[in-house]
Amino acid sequence: MTARGPLKAGEPVLLIDRKKRRYLIDLAAGGEFHSHSGVLSHDELIGSDEGTLFRSTRGMTFIALRPTITDFVLKMPRGAQVIYPKDIGPILILADIFPGARVLEAGLGSGALSIAMLRAGAHITGYEIREDFLSRAVSNVTRFLGPEVLDRYDADIRDAYAGIGTSDLDRVVLDLPEPWQVVPHAQTALRPGGIFVAYTPSIMQVAQLHARLENSAFGMAQTTEVLNRGWHVADQAVRPDHRMVAHTGFLTSARLLSESPKI
């Protein structure tokens, strides 16, 4: 959300209770939020500032805030496995997403990556093979960013392995099982200097992707993974968290060159 000022009807809002449980609701005039801690009327929230504390009918306190991308992605309805914020951030930088960037994204899944790239200003042509995921992605994107964003989100049922029906792209960003199948299409659809980024959970996929990039006009292929370790900070007890997410996926990027020899 990019809105400022008091909370308004129609906006998604994150409620956090005393036990740190989180709920995502869409504010509606006359609406009610029901949980086992009682009822909270939306009308109380509408017109209040972010960070305000509310009390339910059964005395539970809730803080209301506009959700960040991270809050929203972790709470939105998901069909496909989403890319988590720890990888979404680096993907935005690896793919060097900028306002107005012409991006081909496939597959769309639940729309987590779409949300982040759209908010960074990209114009996305999105391919997805499953109707249910396509509509999930579009509804998540619209719920978080508002319907105006659909001017920059051209999402369709389409198989990225079969080809890319657009040209002069700045970026191709992939989260699908066989990204190497898209390399020849990306090579003709990207402009020289364009960037290719693929997210893959398995290192076998990384090896196969590099083999294909090796025999293409792409250069500067590289792969990285992001490890994110939280810290527990409380008085004198300051130490790394006991648990962390050990693995999500690998990020592979490459740039389209117009001349060999490659670098």
| Tokens linked to 195 | 């960037």
Minimum Å gap between C-beta 15 and ligand SAH is 23
d(CA 151, CA 227): 35
Q: Between residues 37 and 125, which has the closer beta carbon with respect to ligand SAH?
A: 125
Q: Between residues 176 and 186, which has the closer beta carbon with respect to ligand SAH?
A: 176
Contact residues toward ligand SAH (CB under 6 A) are 80-83, 106-107, 109-113, 127-130, 133, 159-161, 175-177
User: 68-74 long-range CB contacts below 8 Å, 24 or more apart?
Assistant: 69/115, 69/116, 69/119, 69/144, 71/14, 71/22, 71/24, 72/12, 72/14, 72/24, 72/115, 72/140, 72/144, 73/112, 73/115, 74/22
CB 105 within 8 A of CB 117: yes
Minimum Å gap between C-beta 132 and ligand SAH is 9
Q: Is 134 left (phi over 0), alpha (psi -120 to 50) or beta?
A: alpha
Q: Between residues 11 and 175, which has the closer beta carbon with respect to ligand SAH?
A: 175
Minimum Å gap between C-beta 160 and ligand SAH is 4
Q: Between residues 27 and 73, which has the closer beta carbon with respect to ligand SAH?
A: 73
Q: Between residues 176 and 256, which has the closer beta carbon with respect to ligand SAH?
A: 176
Minimum Å gap between C-beta 251 and ligand SAH is 12
Minimum Å gap between C-beta 59 and ligand SAH is 37
The gap from C-alpha 166 to its chain's centroid, in whole angstroms, comes to 23
On the question of a cis peptide bond just before residue 240, with omega within 30 degrees of 0, the verdict is no
